[in-house]
Amino acid sequence: MADNKNEDQATGGQDALDQETQGAADTQQEVAADEALKQELEKTRDQLMRIAAEADNTKKRAARDVADARRYSISGLARDLLDVADNMSRALSALPPEARETGSDNLKGLVAGIELTSKSLHDVLKKHGVSKINPQGEKFDPNTHEAIAQIPSTAPAGQVVEVIQPGYVLGDRTLRAAMVAVSSGQPPVPAEKPAGSSADDAQPGSNIDTTA
C-alpha cells in the first residue's frame, strides 16, 4: 500500500510539472503571437502612412501641373506676339526725333497711335505674366541673356554694356533671351617705346642703302 501511495504521489507530481511546463510553453506562444501581431500591425501602419504620403504628394504634384499648364499655356501665342512688339519698336526707332515735333498732324497722329498700340500690347502681355528684360548694366546671366558680342569697355568684365534686342520671361521661364553685348574689360595699354626709337627701328634692314 505504501508503495502504491508513493507511486501515486510521484505520478501526481509529474502531472503537475507537466502542466506547469505546458502552461509556460503556452504563455511563450501567446507572447510570440502578440509580438508577431504587433509587428504586423506596425508594418501595416507604416504602409498606410506611406500610401497616404504618396497620395498627398500626387495631389500636390497634380495641382502644380495644372497651375503650370494654366500659367504657361500662352507661351506659344506670347512668343509670336513678341515679333509684333519688336516691329512696333523698330518703327518708332526709325522715325527721326525732329519728325515728332515738326512733322504734320497726320504723322504725329500715326506716331501716337503706334506708341499707344505698343503700350497696350505690353500691358496685355504683362497682365498674363510676360515681363520685358532690359539688362543694361547688369551682370551677364546665361539663363536670360544671349551674348552676341564681347567688346572692350570701362565697365567690369562680364557686364552687359549694350542691349541689341530685349528679352522676355513668362513667370520664371525665359520666352526669349535678351541679345546683348558684354564687356571684356579695359583694353590693354600699349607698351611705351624707348626714347629715340622710331618705326624704322622695328624693321630689320630698313636703313640699308639700296641706291648703289
Residues in the chain: 212
Tens of pLDDT, residue by residue over 155-208, are: 899 999 999 999 999 988 899 999 999 999 887 666 666 555 554 555 555 454
CATH number belonging to the domain at 131-188, selected among 3.40.50.720, 3.30.2090.10, 2.30.22.10, 3.30.428.10: 2.30.22.10
Taking the C-alpha atoms of residue 17 and residue 23, their distance in angstroms, rounded to an integer, is 10
The residues pairing with 85 across neighbouring beta strands, listed in sequence order, are none
Tell me which H or E stretch contains 147.
strand 145-151
Query: What pLDDT, on the 0 to 100 scale, is given for residue 208?
Result: 47
Identify which of 137, 135, 203 has the alpha carbon closest to the alpha carbon of residue 169. 135
Q: Which range is most confident: 5-9, 33-37, 94-98?
A: 33-37
Of 22, 123, 43, residue with least CA distance to 81 = 123
Write the pLDDT tens digit of every residue in 37-68: 888 888 888 888 999 888 888 888 888 777 77
Nearest to 183 by CA among 211, 205, 162: 162
Integer Rg of the chain from CA: 44
Low-confidence winner among 29-43, 80-94, 95-109, 141-155 (lowest mean pLDDT): 95-109
Q: What is the pLDDT of residue 144?
A: 93
Sheet holding 160-165, edge to edge: 145-151, 178-183, 160-165
Helix (H) or strand (E) holding 168: strand 167-170
Q: Domain map of the chain by residue range?
A: 1-73, 74-128, 131-188
212 — pLDDT class (breaks 50, 70, 90): very low
Give the pairing of strands 145-151 and 178-183: parallel
- In one-letter notation, the amino acid at residue 36 is A
Would you state the cell numbers that stand for residue 9, as one nine-digit string?
504521489
Q: pLDDT tens digits for 11-47?
A: 655 566 566 666 666 677 777 788 888 888 888 888 8
Q: Decide: 159 and 182 in contact? Cβ < 8 Å.
A: yes
